[in-house]
Amino acid sequence: MAQKKRAGTLAAFIALLYYEFLWNIRKKKIITIFIIIFAIATVQLAFTPIADAIANPPQALQANSTFVFAGIEALTGIFLFLVGVATTMNTVSGEFESGTIVPLLTKPVSKTLVFAAKIVASVITLLAAYSFLVGYIAIGGTLIYGPQDNLNLVPLGILGLTIGSMVWASVALTLGTLSKNSVLAALGSFGFYIGLLIGGTLIAAQLGASTVLFYAPGMGATGTTAACAGLERGGGQTFSTGTDGLASMLMRWVLNPGQVLNFCGFQFRASGNPTTTLLASDTFANVAFRDLWVSLVYVAGLLLLSWFAFRRSQIVES
């Protein structure tokens, strides 16, 4: 009996997944996301060859063995936000707006199973989108710029992009579930993103890489491989270490786990320019692990809130 019940639950879950993908295709959501990603990747691949070709005099295209690695690291910020929000902003709210939630709720399945299918469908969509994007960049980069280094780290990049984007997808899903309005979900998510961006910029400008930024979604604190006192000379590399930079941090975790990142602040004086000072330092391994669990905590917390609101809204609507 228990085995038959599990089989029935699995069959219902698969049917709900199938429904979700059909819903996304009918709304042209998946198609739109893949078209945007294809366009962005094409521009990224073609920009340098075109610029070299139209230069006066034309320049020979140089081999670049780090193009793919650097290309994955560059996929942060507003890009992850837009893909994440586009994936989930009408996952729940769109069904309430169109009325399709009513026949869905009449099915003999639990409310939790319906919500779980929506989440799994969103994760699969993001994973497929970023696999396509990174695969396209890897193949195109190899053909155009020659053999690439560290291609074994590409799966970690895909994982990091998916989780980082899922943070914003969870924000949009929660707002959409609470408001039952796709426009409010999109605008609310954008307002939340801009607010975090402005707040993070102000904190960074006044305090530097404050520990507050370690646990905020988005770009997070900026770390550098240079000594803080040498920042005025532009030495070392800088990295965004927030949830948006998770792909970069995971790849760097494997590539250079023991390399130290310095987080610098500003020391203001009564006279003269402010000077930089070391606030904290940590290895790529520890920073990547912190980014990973912070991202997962945000996703889990927001989805829990969304699940609670979804269950409650079903009861109200029924």
pLDDT value of position 205 = 63
Q: Which residues of 237-263 are buried (b: 16+ CB within 10 A; e: fewer)?
A: ebbbbbbbbbbbbbbbbeeeeeeebbb
Residues 261 and 266: their CA atoms lie apart, in Å, by: 17
Percent of the chain with pLDDT over 90: 29
Q: Is the pLDDT of residue 142 over 60?
A: yes
Check pLDDT > 80 for residue 76: yes
Cα 315 to Cα 200: distance, rounded to the nearest angstrom: 39
- Residue 76, in any domain of the structure: yes
The verdict on residue 264 lying in a domain is no
Q: Are 236 and 225 in contact (CB under 8 A)?
A: yes
Q: Which of 27-36, 179-188, 285-294 has the lowest mean pLDDT?
A: 27-36
Query: Which tokens belong to 261?
Result: 């990142």
Specify the 3-state DSSP secondary structure of 276: strand
Residue 246 within a domain: no
**Residue-level pLDDT at 1:** 59
Beta-carbon-side half-sphere exposure of residue 79 (alpha carbons within 13 Å): 19
Q: Which residue, chain included where needed, has tokens 């893909």?
A: 83
Burial class (CB in 10 A: 0-12, 13-18, 19+), 69: buried
**Domain that includes residue 15, residue range:** 2-188
Confirm whether 71 is domain-assigned.
yes
Model pLDDT, residue 207 = 61
Rounded average pLDDT over 45-65: 79
pLDDT at 292 over 90: yes
- Cα–Cα distance measured from residue 249 to residue 218, given in angstroms and rounded to the nearest whole number: 14
Three-state secondary structure call for residue 94: helix
Number of domains in the chain: 1
Residue 210 within a domain: no
Is residue 220 included in any domain, yes or no?
A: no
Q: Parallel, antiparallel, or unpaired for β 260-267 and 238-240?
A: unpaired
| Nearest CA-CA partner of 250 in 209, 281, 292 | 292
Pairwise CA distance, residues 250 & 157, whole Å: 7
Asked whether residue 173 is domain-assigned, the answer is: yes
- The percentage of the chain sitting over the pLDDT mark of 70, rounded to a whole number, equals 86
pLDDT score recorded for residue 50? 83
Q: Can you tell me whether residue 85 is helix, strand or coil?
A: helix
CB atoms within 10 A of CB 66: 13
Q: Is residue 111 part of a domain?
A: yes
